């Protein structure tokens, strides 16, 4: 299905791409917005630490469920409509959080901020349509890189605002930012006539939401509740069973939320498996390094930085992701997306190896973080390119949304694994006060390197990209939107 712009284009493709980058960056920023104030949330919201931890979990769960749903809605009703709706939800969620002083409305605001992350996969799928052909790879790379950049820049920015002003200022700022994104999306982004008439799979949405939420809650809370606790086991097992039932329903549905037959195709399947592993690699770095930077020097290996200083040491990693977007674009053009994805994963692994060897000072650890971030920038651009090259045009938004979901699954698993490692190997800093041991941090780096390297190997299992054969006829059936192809290399 070819997309057409229904109205005269007023703004240049570069302006549209810039707006899509800003919107995606704003959505990604919400992930790390509360990290600097997480320890203070119980007092700020008059609640306990266990309850306040949902401020991060609510955003994570909402984003995980929303991204494939937003992609599907974009395929059905047009991408601009979903982008505008996502930006509006971000503004409302930020406003609710800014005006909150108790836990319940604050969590509602945080969940709405997670819902707004549906902007990102839709922006990635749209930018491929509106960018000039010779700039399509670089445009996809730039928008994809904002996923990591937003998270990396959010930590120092939010720490500075919370330290200098009020914690409410974090959410007033995100409200203003969301309103700017909303206005720019309405005015600058063109309406592309790419809607595909279909019925909304409400049962599929509910099944995915229930199954994913239960499973991810169990994984993310396992270290707190205990991995053998009936609540943890029941949550994970129940979520998996619901997802299995959901999958069976989707396979029988004539117009499913997620076309699992397309998802099971080898190029899509292995790209999504690689997304889980590379998402794991990215999140492990984001969790482990700030803790090591902030650990007291009295431990003998801690680096004694404040949370603001730790954020500033991590910030260059975010810029590395953006700087390597053009590099990724060049690699995509020269050697293909599958090899580019594998190279990115290898670089992420090398970043962990460097971090393992450079734990002696903040600037050394920053180098390791920058190497890993360069790999994330390369890999995150290649993943949506592989998806868009291997799904029908009317499934583009849904395909990229599922891929984004897989990255979220990887980050959730990484959070659980790193927390388990850091809490299982501890030393006593003072009577009654324990902190992770040096060996725990080293093991985290080794596990992160292993996950990223596994992602590199999985990426190589993706079949080589194929180029349309002009002499071939259009195939019938489920693959009607994908032209018959002949091999062309990487």
Out of 170, 192, 214, a domain closes at: 192
pLDDT at position 211, please?
A: 92
Average pLDDT over residues 460-487: 51
Domain-embedded: residue 395: yes
Question: What proportion of the chain, given as a percentage, has pLDDT over 70?
Answer: 91
Contact 300, 359 (CB under 8 A): no
pLDDT of residue 339: 92
Residue 439 lies in a domain: yes
Q: Which residue, of 238, 256, 274, is where some domain finishes?
A: 256
Number of domains comprising the chain: 3
- Give yes or no for residue 489 having a pLDDT over 60: no
Confirm whether 2 is domain-assigned: no
Residue 99, Cβ density class (10 Å: 0-12 exposed, 13-18 middle, ≥19 buried): middle
For residue 417, is pLDDT > 70? yes
pTM to 2 decimal places: 0.82
Neighbours of 469 (CB within 10 A): 11
User: Are 179 and 34 part of one and the same domain?
Assistant: yes
pLDDT: which is higher, 37 or 364 = 364
Question: Does 208 share its domain with 181?
Answer: no
Lowest mean pLDDT segment, chosen from 8-22, 204-218, 447-461, 473-487: 473-487
Give per-residue burial for 231-270: e unless 16+ CB within 10 Å, then b: ebeebbebbeebbeebbeebeebeebbbbeebbebebbbb
What pLDDT score was predicted for residue 481? 41
Please say which residue of 256, 272, 287 terminates a domain: 256
Closest CA relative to residue 151, chosen from 54, 51, 287: 287
Closest of 410, 408, 415, 420 to residue 59, by C-alpha: 408
**Beta strands 426-430 and 433-436: pairing type?**
antiparallel
pLDDT, mean of residues 295-323: 85
Average pLDDT, the chain: 84
Question: Please, which pLDDT band fits residue 465 given cuts at 50, 70 and 90?
Answer: low
211 in the same domain as 157: no
If one compares 353 and 7, the residue with the highest pLDDT of the two is 353
Going by pLDDT thresholds of 50, 70 and 90, the confidence category of residue 473 is: very low
Same domain? For 97 and 184 the reply is yes
Largest pairwise CA distance in the chain: 77
Q: Which of 117, 119, 115, 120 is nearest to 144 (CA)?
A: 120
Choose among 446, 447, 428: nearest CA to 437: 428
| CATH at residue 330 | 1.20.1250.20
Phi and psi (nearest 5°) for 435? Answer: -135, 160
Helices (H) and strands (E) in the chain, counts: 19, 6
Q: Per-residue pLDDT for 467 more than 60?
A: no
Of 282, 292, 280, the C-alpha closest to 414 is 280
pLDDT tens for 68-122 read 889 888 888 889 999 999 999 999 999 999 999 898 999 999 999 999 989 988 9
Q: What pLDDT is stored for residue 247 in this prediction?
A: 93
User: Is 207 within a domain?
Assistant: yes
Co-location of 318 and 446 in the same domain: yes
Phi, psi of 199, rounded to the nearest 5 degrees: -95, 140
The residues, ordered by sequence, that sit 6+ positions from 226 with a Cβ below 8 Å of its Cβ are 232
**pLDDT at site 58:** 86
What separation in angstroms does the CA of 208 have from each of 168, 214, 248, 351? 33, 10, 12, 34
The per-residue pLDDT for 280 is 86
What is the pLDDT at residue 488?
37
The yes-or-no verdict on residue 479 having pLDDT over 50 is no
417 lies in which domain range?
A: 262-490
The answer to whether residues 218 and 175 belong to one domain is: no
CB 116 within 8 A of CB 250: no
Domain assignment present for residue 1? The answer is: no
d(CA 317, CA 71): 28
The pLDDT, as a whole number, for residue 9 is 55
Per residue in 144-195, pLDDT (tens digit) is 877 777 777 777 888 788 777 788 888 999 999 999 999 999 999 987 766 5
305 and 245 together in one domain: no
170 domain residue, yes or no = yes
Look at residue 2 and tell me whether its pLDDT is greater than 70: no
What pLDDT is recorded for position 155? 75
Cβ neighbors of 338 (< 8 A, separation 6 or more) are 382, 386, 459, 460, 462, 463, 464, 465, 490
Q: Are residues 154 and 214 in the same domain?
A: no
268-277: pLDDT as tens digits: 999 999 989 8
What average pLDDT does range 216-235 have in this prediction? 87
User: Are 224 and 272 found together in one domain?
Assistant: no
The pLDDT of residue 129 is above 50: yes
Residue 238: its pLDDT value, please?
94
Question: d(Cα 191, Cα 206) in Å, to the nearest integer?
Answer: 29
Indicate whether 314 and 331 sit together in one domain.
Answer: yes
Contacts of 444-448 with CB under 8 Å at 24 or more apart are 444/284, 444/287, 444/288, 444/418, 445/288, 445/352, 445/353, 445/355, 445/356, 446/352, 446/356, 447/284, 447/417, 447/418, 447/421, 448/280, 448/281, 448/284, 448/285, 448/288, 448/348, 448/349, 448/352, 448/414
One domain for residues 215 and 317:
no
Q: DSSP code of 258?
A: S
Please report, rounded to a whole number, the percentage of residues in the chain having pLDDT higher than 90: 30
Model pLDDT, residue 156: 80
Whether 52 and 109 share a structural domain: yes
Check: CB of residue 432 under 8 Å from CB of residue 302. no
- The radius of gyration of the chain's CA atoms, rounded to the nearest angstrom, is 22
Per residue in 242-256, pLDDT (tens digit) is 999 999 999 988 888
CA distance 368 to 418: 18
* Per-residue model confidence (pLDDT) at position 377: 83
Residue 197 domain flag? no
Domain membership of residue 4 (yes or no) is: no
Residues 6+ away with beta carbon under 8 Å from 33: 113, 154, 158, 170, 171, 174
pLDDT at 484: 37
């Amino acid at each position: 299905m070819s997309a057409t712009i229904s109205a005269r284009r007023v703004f240049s493709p570069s302006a549209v791409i810039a707006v899509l980058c800003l919107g995606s960056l704003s959505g990604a920023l919400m992930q790390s917005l509360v990290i600097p104030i997480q320890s203070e949330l119980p007092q700020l919201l008059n609640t306990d630490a266990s309850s306040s931890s949902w401020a991060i979990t609510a955003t994570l769960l909402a984003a995980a469920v929303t991204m494939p749903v937003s992609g599907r809605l974009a395929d059905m009703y047009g991408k601009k409509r979903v982008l505008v709706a996502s930006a509006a939800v971000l503004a409302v969620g930020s406003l609710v959080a800014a005006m909150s002083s108790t836990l319940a409305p604050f969590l509602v605001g945080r969940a709405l901020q997670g819902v707004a992350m549906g902007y990102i996969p839709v922006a990635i799928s749209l930018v491929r349509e509106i960018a000039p052909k010779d700039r399509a790879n670089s445009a996809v790379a730039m928008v994809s890189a904002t996923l990591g950049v937003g998270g990396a820049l959010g930590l120092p920015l939010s720490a500075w605002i919370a330290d200098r002003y009020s914690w409410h200022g974090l959410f007033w700022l995100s409200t203003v930012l969301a309103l700017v994104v909303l206005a720019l999306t309405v005015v600058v982004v063109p309406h592309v006539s790419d809607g595909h008439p279909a019925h909304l799979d409400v049962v599929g949405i509910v099944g995915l939401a229930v199954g994913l939420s239960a499973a991810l809650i169990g994984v993310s809370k396992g270290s707190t509740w205990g991995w053998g606790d009936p609540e943890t086991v029941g949550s994970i097992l129940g979520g998996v069973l619901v997802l299995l039932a959901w999958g069976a329903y989707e396979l029988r549905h004539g117009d499913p939320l997620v076309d699992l037959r397309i998802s099971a195709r080898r190029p899509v399947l292995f790209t999504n498996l690689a997304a889980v592993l590379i998402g794991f690699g990215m999140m492990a770095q984001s969790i482990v390094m700030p803790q090591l930077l902030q650990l007291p020097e009295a431990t003998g290996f801690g680096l004694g930085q404040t949370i603001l200083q730790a954020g500033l040491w991590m910030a260059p990693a975010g810029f590395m992701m953006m700087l390597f977007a053009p590099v990724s674009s060049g690699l995509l053009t020269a050697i293909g997306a599958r090899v580019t994805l594998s190279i990115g994963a290898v670089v992420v692994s090398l970043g962990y190896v460097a971090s393992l060897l450079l734990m002696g000072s903040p600037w050394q650890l920053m180098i390791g973080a920058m190497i890993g971030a360069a790999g994330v920038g390369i890999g995150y651009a290649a993943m949506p390119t592989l998806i868009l090259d291997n799904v029908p045009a009317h499934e583009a938004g849904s395909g990229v949304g599922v891929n984004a979901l897989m990255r979220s699954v990887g980050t959730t698993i990484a959070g659980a694994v790193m927390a388990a490692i850091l809490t299982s190997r501890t030393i006593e800093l003072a009577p009654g006060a324990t902190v992770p041991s040096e060996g725990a941090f080293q093991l985290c780096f080794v596990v992160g390197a292993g996950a990223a390297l596994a992602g590199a190997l999985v990426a190589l299992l993706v079949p080589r990209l194929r180029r349309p054969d002009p002499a071939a006829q259009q195939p019938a059936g489920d693959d009607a939107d994908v032209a018959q192809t002949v091999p062309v290399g990487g």
